[in-house]
Amino acid sequence: MITIFKTNINEEQESRVRQFLNLFKEILKVDFDFEDSDNILRIETVGDIATHVEVVLNSNGYFCKELI
Q: Is the pTM of this model over 0.75?
A: yes
CA-closest candidate to residue 42, choices 17, 12, 16? 17
Using 50 as the pLDDT threshold, list the residues of the chain that sit under it: none
**How many other β-carbons are positioned within 10 Å of the β-carbon of residue 29?**
9
CATH of the domain at 26: 3.30.70.100
**Secondary structure class of 26 (helix, strand, coil):** coil
Provide the domain count of the chain: 1
CA-closest candidate to residue 51, choices 32, 34, 26, 28? 26
Average per-residue pLDDT in the chain?
97
Domain range for residue 42? Answer: 2-66
Beta strands in 1-68 (DSSP E): 2-7, 27-33, 40-45, 64-66
- pLDDT on residue 68: 87
pLDDT, one tens digit per residue, over 4-13 is 999 999 999 9
Q: How far apart are CA 47 and CA 63, in angstroms?
A: 22
- pLDDT on residue 38: 97
pLDDT, one tens digit per residue, over 39-48 is 999 999 999 9
